[in-house]
Amino acid sequence: MNQRFARAAAYGVVALLVTAALRASPPEFSEGSSENAVVAMEAMPVTLVERVDTLGRGQSLGVLFANAGVAGFQVLDALKEAANLDLRRVPAGIPVTFRGSVRDSVPSEVVVQLGIDRLVRLSRADGAWTGSEERLPWATDTAVVTGTIDVTLYGAIDQVAAELLPSRQRAELAWSLADVFEYRMDMSRDLRTGDSFRVLFERATAPNGAMRLGRVLVASVTLSGKEHYAYRYESETATGKYFDEEGKSLRAAFLRTPVEFRRVSSNFGRRFHPVLKTWRQHAGTDYAAAQGTPVRTIGDGIVISAGRNGGYGNAIDVRHANGYVTRYAHLRNFAGGVKKGSRVTIGQTIGYVGMTGLVTGPHLHFEVLVGGKQRDPRTALQEKAGEPIPAGDRAAFDAQRLALIAALDAADTGSVRLAVKE
């Protein structure tokens, strides 16, 4: 009896709860009410999501796109057409950005960053993909760096230009300064502690903050109290791009170094030979560099020997005008087409740094012979004045020279804006 009563009471409670729920439920939609609901949903703000991925080594863009919900060849065709791009040669590491609504499993926009200032934007509309290439503008200004040599040119520029240039660009500025004066001085040997430099150069900044080094516009280097200038000036008739304060081209008959700006491990004079263990005359200059570093001839000439030469190992001798002969030794191998009788031009790669012959490590041994006698390259290749600027360019050159030196003199290390003739 009690069980029946309890069961009936439980049923009653359930019935009351069901009745209350039915009374509290909203009425069914009338005709047209569904349209109102759709309008309300469309009025709600759309949440956009963004995903940035990176193309992995050996990965294809198609796989990267598919992982983000973008499948099919249509989007790849749009990318290829927009950028005239060979999809098989897209480098690993480029960032790809996918954007879209949280309501949609397929992104509505894809941005492929092909370079610092180059991107392709792909957009989806009505199921079709279209693409366009965009070039991002660079902002260009000029800056001045001044410094004093403590140990090396690298170290000096790295210290004084830390707030103006990223590390890589500071090294490039040192290389550029050495290149400007490469016919007049060897930055790896001629600079001494206490020497100084000043340089006005261009720099460009991308929208994402990336920076690249531009042209050196004017520079001065003080060696042992004497200041040497280089002014950039370009014309159709002038020889070279840099001139001294007298309007003479910095380009001369010989480069000062057979390798691009590198550390020198041993200068001309007596030294303790590391292999023979005896003191002997070191009749040249050793340039320490990694194996395979290109070696260039310092002037126009004819190869008079190219082959094995005793302790020199693989060596090349080049005869130049006025009785000059230059020797390049311990080479790993010779450049293609370089052999006895070959004509070579200034700056041409003729071989590669190695460690053949009597050596303990990879380097280039460089000699200068004048009249058949070995001479110290530092004095044998003394500063030679180049051709003077053409008379028709003299007035324009002087005006630009004065503007450049004024900017250099007026600024300490820092940024300065300057309009320069292209």
Largest CA distance in the chain: 135
User: Which of 25-29, 108-112, 271-275, 312-316 reaches the highest mean pLDDT?
Assistant: 312-316
Q: Does residue 335 have a pLDDT over 50? A: yes
Specify the residue for token string 């053409």.
Answer: 390
Average pLDDT over residues 140-150: 93
> Which secondary structure element, helix H or strand E, spans residue 63, and what is its range?
helix 61-67
Split at pLDDT 50, 70, 90, the class of 413 is low
Average pLDDT over residues 160-186: 92
Q: Does residue 42 have a pLDDT over 80? A: no
Domains, the chain, ranges and CATH? 48-135 (3.10.450.350), 139-252+388-416 (3.10.450.350), 264-380 (2.70.70.10)
Q: Does residue 217 have a pLDDT over 90? A: yes
Split at pLDDT 50, 70, 90, the class of 283 is low
Average pLDDT over residues 238-242: 87
Selection from 207, 219, 77 nearest residue 145 by Cα: 219
Nearest-10 Cα torsion for 24, 25, 31, 36: 90
Q: Which residue has the higher pLDDT, 207 or 51?
A: 51
Instruction: Output the pTM of the full model.
Output: 0.66
Q: Which amino acid is at 306?
A: A
CA atoms in the 13 A half-sphere facing the CB of 5: 2
Q: Does residue 261 have a pLDDT over 80? A: no
Contact 243, 174 (CB under 8 A): no
State phi, psi for 49 to the nearest 5 degrees.
-120, 150
Residues in the chain: 422
The span from the CA of 376 to the CA of 285, in Å, is: 8
- Would you state the structure tokens that stand for residue 274, as one six-digit string? 């590391």
Contact 244, 229 (CB under 8 A): yes
Average pLDDT over residues 219-228: 94
pLDDT at 1: 44
pLDDT at 338: 97
Beta bridge partners of 229: 220
